[in-house]
Amino acid sequence: MSTTPLIVARGLVKRFGSFTAVDGIDVEVHRGESFGFLGPNGAGKSSTMRMIGCVSPRTDGELRIFDMDPATQGKQIRARIGVVPQADQLDEQLTVQDNLMLYGRYFDLPRAECRRRAAELLEFVQLTDRATSKIEPLSGGMKRRVTIARSLVNEPELLLLDEPTTGLDPQARHVLWDRLYRLKQRGVTLVLTTHYMDEAEQLCDRLVVMDGGRIVAEGSPRSLIEQHSTREVLELRYPAGTNEERAPDVAGIGDRSEVLPDRVLIYAHDGEAALAEVHARGSRPESALVRRSSLEDVFLRLTGRSLVD
């Protein structure tokens, strides 16, 4: 097996007129890895994904996928990747099954092979009973699963997922995560974008945090949390509108604190101990919650803003 990374980006830039969507990022993704781009809307994640998917030319910098250049070998690269775009882009004029079969034909697969894979993939995404349904009556979660099945029809080495679970209800998200986890186990390299912390923590071995077209941090979810946050977080809620003025009451407790419009966050190794000290100082928040630190905290720390607005 080759040791060349599947994706190498150096100083990758994407500009739309005077707007810079991706502002010189360096990324390497290795075979079998599950890699995430984490960031809020407008961070440049989708633009990066489209460049990797060879459907958007780069403005500047270097980009190689399977050690090929998307600018000149886009067709060969696209033949080996699977894409789950943000808006499913299913063919609404066709049935579920025909969507998969026709997609296989775009990759020049023989018809019989398309039929076999379509049946197998519908089984995989648990939609066999909807094979002859049109796309329109399907739920959001089902459409997403059809899109994932479609992206796998050419047995891709690299799967690109742009916000795979945005807009889905919790149950649908878990079904999807389970399927993606199985793909990961089969050795498919996953690259996904998300603005959900839990998703990144569940699915990514390694991720980069993007903000304003730049990478602000890189590492495994665990190492990022260790590096940029504390083990635990104490969340205090004071009556609406008074969080700001109560903050000084608890100043100095834990390693540091963050005052948000709706709550005060205290970063501490031991959340319970921090809460005990809050009470000892006579401060009475309406509610208090001790939780483990998450990527959300990392993002807040790195950019001063919360992730989902």
Partner 1 sequence: MMTLAELPLRILPPAVLAARRPHRMLERQWIVNRRGGWMIVLTGFFEPLFYLLSIRIGFGGLVGDVTDGGRTMPYAEFVAPALFASSAMNGSIYEATNIFFKLKYEKTYDAVLATPMTSGDVALGEMLYATFRGALYSVAFLITMWALGMTASIWAIAMLPVAMLVSFAFSAVAIAGTTYMRTWADFEYVPSLMLPMFLFSATFYPLSSYGDWQWVVQLSPLYHGVAVVRGLNQGEWAWSYLAHVSVLVAMALWGLSVTARRIDHLLLK
What residue ranges bind partner 1 (CB under 8 A)?
A: 16, 50, 53, 55-57, 75-76, 78-79, 83, 85, 87, 89-94, 98, 101-103, 105-108, 150, 154
- Name the minimum Å distance from CB 76 to partner 1: 8
Contact call for residues 117 and 76 (beta carbons, < 8 A) = no
- Name the minimum Å distance from CB 40 to partner 1: 21
For partner 1, the closer of residues 44 and 254 by Cβ is 44
**Checking DSSP bridges between strand 19-29 and strand 7-16, what pairing results, if any?**
antiparallel
- Name the minimum Å distance from CB 135 to partner 1: 10
Distance, CA of 234 to CA of 269 (rounded, Å): 10
For partner 1, the closer of residues 189 and 293 by Cβ is 189
Q: Which of 153, 177, 141 is nearest to 101 (CA)?
A: 153
- Name the minimum Å distance from CB 176 to partner 1: 19
Q: In the structure encoding, which two tokens stand for residue 282, read together?
A: 């006579």
For partner 1, the closer of residues 70 and 285 by Cβ is 70
Contact call for residues 249 and 224 (beta carbons, < 8 A) = no
Distance, CA of 127 to CA of 154 (rounded, Å): 19
For partner 1, the closer of residues 11 and 57 by Cβ is 57
For partner 1, the closer of residues 70 and 221 by Cβ is 70
CA triplet 60, 82, 53: central angle to 5 degrees?
10
Q: 252 burial class (0-12, 13-18, 19+ CB within 10 angstroms)?
A: exposed
CA triplet 34, 7, 77: central angle to 5 degrees?
110
Q: Which residues contact 266 (CB under 8 A, 6 or more apart)?
A: 233, 234, 235, 236, 250, 253, 254, 257, 274, 278
- Name the minimum Å distance from CB 266 to partner 1: 45
Angle, nearest 10°, between helix axes 96-106 and 140-151?
30
- Name the minimum Å distance from CB 175 to partner 1: 22
For partner 1, the closer of residues 107 and 177 by Cβ is 107
For partner 1, the closer of residues 148 and 265 by Cβ is 148
